[in-house]
Structure formats: structure tokens, C-alpha cells
Structure 1
Amino acid sequence: MCGMVKPSFIPPPDIHQLRDLMRYRVKFTNILTGEKNRIQNCLTVSKLQLDDVFSDVFGIFSRFIIQHILDHPGERFDVALFIDRRYKHSSEEIQSAVDRAIFREQAPKLKECLFHIDQLNEHRERIETKIFRLTKSYPYQLELTHTVPDFAVAPLTAVTLIFEIGVNMSVFPSAKHLISWAGRCLQND
């Protein structure tokens, strides 16, 4: 009340909305990770070793294989129809990794997890569309942050920087204040 304590940084409404959407997107990413771990557990319990032959168990080809196994339980199939020649593992190695059926108890859980992952990806894409729509009012700042190495490759990293610190640096008296506010000061505990 007497002006002895400086007020906290409160972003303007548009940055606050952007911050809220970005944090919501992070929640979707965390839930997606949990669902992928559940799927990996189902595959491990069923002794399907897709992670031994595919670098991404949730990639296009491995997803086709999982879906085929779920749609045709116990049916042997030729995996060569589902894979690309560029894989480092031979089709025989991949065939031996998927020549097992998903346990009957695991199949419903696996189907629900796959369905949930598809839904979460759709939600996250819609949120990202809204995020990019909000960031259109900051073209100069985005262009400037894209000059930082690796920020141009990951555009949401630049957006994250903008939503966390805003675009008006005058609210921070010095670079030290900004670093302190961002929680990047070294502590000596």
C-alpha cells in the first residue's frame, strides 16, 4: 500500500490467454505420455517386442501392425505388407517380434488407449491452432526469437518464451531481474 513492495509481473490479457493455452497443451502432452506408457506396458505384457525393431512404437507402420493384430486376433500375417524397405531391421526380425497375439485381457485396454491417444492428438492440434492464431499479433517478436538456435525448428519453443515473459521487457528493471523472475538464478543452498 505504501509502495514499498514492488508488484508482481502480471501479463497483459492476450499473453495471459496464450499462457493458459500453452499450459493446457502441456497437460495434453503429459496425458499422452501416460497413455503411451500404458500401451507399451500392454505390449510388454503380451510379449510383443515392437520397441526392439521400431524406433517409434507409435509411428505409422508400427501403429498399422498393432491395429491389424487387434482387428485379427490370433491370425498370422505377413509383416512385409506393413513395413518400408528403409528400416534397419529385416522383415524376418520384425516378423519374429510380432508373431505373438495380444493377450485377451490386454486387448480392450490397448484399444481404448489407442482411441484416447487419437482424441488427445486432435485436441492438442486444435489448441495449437488457437495458439498460433494468438501469436499472429507478435510477428516481430516471433521472428526475433526464431533467430535463437533450435527455436526455428521448434516454433512452440519461441511461443513458450513469449507467453512466459511477455513482449514488454520494460517491466523488468534489468536482465538479472528477468532471470530471477524466470527462476533461472543459481542458488547456493
Structure 2
Amino acid sequence: MTRENEGAAILVTGPARSGKSEWAERLAHESGRPVIYVATAREDPDDADWMARIEAHRRRRPAHWSTLCAPAELEAAITTAGAGDVCLLIDSLGTWVANLIELDDAVWQARSERLLAALEQCPTARVILVAEETGWGVIPAYPIGRLFRDRLGGLVRRLGPRCSATYLVTGGHALDLRRLGVPIDR
């Protein structure tokens, strides 16, 4: 990977268990920069499965990568940690959205705008964002599921055009949507 578009973000999206985190980790490694892994997950010692998933991510990361936990204040973490010649790997936007799901619409919109502004204020950092694709199945039967799907889908759609690369990872393969796709005018 070259250092062109040095501060531009990269979006890695796809369904569960598709390999998107592994692809993002590869991109971070190839950046040649010190990597700060920005974890959005909240630990829950009462949920063994969730803790095993978090631990699997930890084991995959090189020991020399730094970790910054930002389950709610992602915007501030990006602004603070992204001030230099580093690579921020944010995993994942879906978890961040879930952590803020109880915000009313106006507050959510303000937080989304702050996130986008924080990304634009990282002119030298490489930022890699991992996001889940949730809208490929049936419409969720419950209001909270629809709200999550709509908020995450809307955020990902707004991020894609702002990124230097947007990858769809599915079936263990990464597709560069900026090269293969046609942008939809908004």
C-alpha cells in the first residue's frame, strides 16, 4: 500500500464472520505506521461468548500495537489519537452504534456529525473503519433492530464517499468498491 491520500480514511464493511476485521488488520499492518487499535466493545464478564470474541481479536493483534478503548466517545478518541503519523484501526462502528442506540434522533445526528468532523480533522493519520452490513436480510421485527440497522446503514453510506477506499469483505474475499462500483449520487 502506498502513502498516497495519507490522511484519507478506509472503510471495510461486510457481514458477520466475513473476514473484515482480518482485512482491516492487514491494511493497518501494510500502512507501515504505528497502529492504534480503537476498540468500541464494552467488556461484559457475565457474557462468556462476548468475552471470547474480544479475546480472539486481542490474540490476533501484534503485541506492539497500542489499544485504545472507546465504546462511547469515539469522536474524541479519533481527534486525540489521530493527531500524528499513525494508523487508527476502529473496530467496529456497529458496536459503537449499538452502544449509543438509546440516544434520541437529534442527539444521534449530532454525534454522527461529530464523528464525520473528527475523521476530516485527521489530515496525517490513516484511519481504517470496520463496519457491519446489517440490511441484507429481512427487516427486523422489532423497533430497536430497525433503528440499529437504519443508523448503521446511514452512517456507512455517509462514510463511503469520504473514504479513499471502501472494501466489501464477504466469503473471505475483499472487493474494492471504489474501483469496481459506481457511486450513487445523494
- Which of the five TM-score ranges fits, normalised by the shorter chain? under 0.3
State the TM-score, normalizing by the size of structure 1. 0.22
State the TM-score, normalizing by the size of structure 2. 0.22
Bigger Rg over Cα = 1
Higher relative contact order (CA 8 A, sep 6+): 2
Higher helix share: 1
